[in-house]
Amino acid sequence: MNITVLMGGASAERDVSIVSGLRIAAALRSRGHDVTSLDTAVGILDGEAERAFLEAGVQTAPPPLESLAELSRGSLSPSLGTLPAVLEADVVFLALHGGQGEDGTLQALFDLCGVRYTGTGQLGSALAMDKDLSKRLFRDAGVGTADWLMAPVTVADVEGRMGFPVIVKPSKQGSTVGLTLVRDPGGLAPAIAEAQRYDDEVMVEQFVSGRELTVGVLGNEALPIGEIIPRHELYDYECKYTKGMAVEEFPARLDPDTAAMVRDQALRAFRVLKLRGYARIDFRLSDSGGCFCLEANTLPGMTELSLIPQAAAAAGISFPDLCERIVHLATTDRGR
């Protein structure tokens, strides 16, 4: 097949996207596919550019906002629907993270252009990216989720609704970019200001202590549950993308009833958000046994350290097989 992998772009998750995309491209090439790597910020990547990006890898912090703004000014995104590498592909494999690549904007463009692409469609992508809307739908579907408020909020609002500590984060962002754990009232305003650097909407969410779990969904089936044990208190950007900064256990050590409950919650979340193809659903399992959905990721990371490839491996699915299954779902699932 002729496959174009879209990656990079100008979101705060650019580094993760490029490494994910290049790993996907290599896996698909190993299966005989004709693959083009396309960075939506700079264009088609040749072999030398691919090697340079792979050597650079994912840094311990997101790219500076200033450099992303510069990339955004020259981005190819407005013309993606006219590029031969996109229009002539049998499938476009979306390895973009965050921004317009994951919030439904690009999916809507491709739907209009008749371009076949991997993953969730426009509506599901938009719903999953907006954490406020996601959580409202979770509650309607019986999926547990922590209490929350949307900024602007005061200390009195937080103390009256849920108390401290809280998590402050951009409502439409991933990879814990702009996220802060706030333990006392004095930290609330600075944390909101930090989150506002990345998004115009900020969520203040009750902090749930306990075990961090993740469930990959492939097609309509849940992959083995994973548990993340980070070296930092939170599974932050550095822990996610720096080797040795977290331990991921697949499958997680859970009793059968708890495992069944978490899988059920993951599939409920997947369905209520109208997701398609594949996704990763993240949870906290509280010390009292409650299950709280944190978010759904419609274009999860596919780096060597990323979680859904580890979940697939635990199910006996190699990384090239995983990539081919995602492509197959894109060619057979017409319900987007």
Catalytically annotated residue among 99, 101, 104, 301: 301
Last residue of a domain, one of 206, 223, 245: 206
Q: Are residues 132 and 256 in the same domain?
A: yes
**Are the CB atoms for 148 and 292 separated by under 8 Å?**
no
**Are the CB atoms for 182 and 166 separated by under 8 Å?**
yes
Catalytically annotated residue among 39, 241, 277, 306: 241
- Respond yes or no: is residue 205 known to be catalytic: no
Q: Are residues 198 and 219 in the same domain?
A: no
Angstrom distances, CA of residue 331 to CA of 16, 92, 232, 271: 25, 10, 40, 20
Angstrom distances, CA of residue 328 to CA of 72, 83, 323: 32, 23, 9
Q: Are residues 86 and 201 in the same domain?
A: no
- Respond yes or no: is residue 55 known to be catalytic: no
Q: Which positions of the chain have pLDDT values less than 50?
A: 335-336
Cis peptide before 152 (omega within 30 of 0): yes
Catalytically annotated residue among 13, 103, 199, 227: 13
Last residue of a domain, one of 159, 179, 206: 206
Catalytically annotated residue among 282, 284, 324, 336: 282
DSSP H or E run through 319: helix 319-332
- What CATH number does the domain containing 219 carry? 3.30.470.20
Q: Are residues 29 and 77 in the same domain?
A: yes
Residue 228 lies inside a defined structural domain of this protein = yes
Residue 263 lies inside a defined structural domain of this protein = yes
Helix, strand, coil % over all residues of the chain, rounded to 5: 40, 20, 40
Q: Are residues 235 and 158 in the same domain?
A: no
- Respond yes or no: is residue 295 known to be catalytic: yes
- What CATH number does the domain containing 105 carry? 3.40.50.20
Residue 161 lies inside a defined structural domain of this protein = yes
Q: Are residues 199 and 222 in the same domain?
A: no
Residue 314 lies inside a defined structural domain of this protein = yes
Q: Residue 57 in 3-state DSSP?
A: coil
Pairing of strands 202-206, 148-150: antiparallel
Catalytically annotated residue among 268, 280, 284, 336: 280
- Using only C-alpha atoms, the chain has a radius of gyration, in whole angstroms, of 19
Residue 123 lies inside a defined structural domain of this protein = no
| DSSP codes joined into one string, 254-274 | --HHHHHHHHHHHHHHHHHTT
Q: Are residues 62 and 109 in the same domain?
A: yes
Residue 64 lies inside a defined structural domain of this protein = yes
Cβ neighbours, 10 Å, residue 245: 17
Q: Are residues 46 and 113 in the same domain?
A: yes
Range of the domain at 188: 148-206
Q: Are residues 202 and 212 in the same domain?
A: no
Q: Are residues 273 and 136 in the same domain?
A: yes
Q: Which pLDDT score, from 0 to 100, does residue 336 have?
A: 43
Catalytically annotated residue among 295, 306, 324, 336: 295
Q: Are residues 212 and 323 in the same domain?
A: yes
- Respond yes or no: is residue 50 known to be catalytic: no
Residue 38 lies inside a defined structural domain of this protein = yes
Q: Which pLDDT score, from 0 to 100, does residue 11 have?
A: 83
- Respond yes or no: is residue 297 known to be catalytic: yes
Count of structural domains, the chain: 3
Catalytically annotated residue among 23, 297, 306, 336: 297
Q: Which of 175, 168, 172 is nearest to 204 (CA)?
A: 168
Last residue of a domain, one of 176, 206, 236: 206
- What CATH number does the domain containing 178 carry? 3.30.1490.20
Q: Residue 185 in 3-state DSSP?
A: helix
**Residues forming beta bridges with residue 218, ordered by sequence position:** 221, 278
The two most distant CA atoms of the chain are separated, in Å, by 60
- Respond yes or no: is residue 241 known to be catalytic: yes
Q: Which pLDDT score, from 0 to 100, does residue 239 have?
A: 66
Residue with tokens 């202590």: 209
Q: Which pLDDT score, from 0 to 100, does residue 312 have?
A: 98
Tokens, residue 21: 């995309």
Catalytically annotated residue among 121, 175, 199, 284: 175
Q: Are residues 86 and 214 in the same domain?
A: no
Q: Which pLDDT score, from 0 to 100, does residue 335 have?
A: 44
Residue 122 lies inside a defined structural domain of this protein = no
Q: Which pLDDT score, from 0 to 100, does residue 96 have?
A: 94
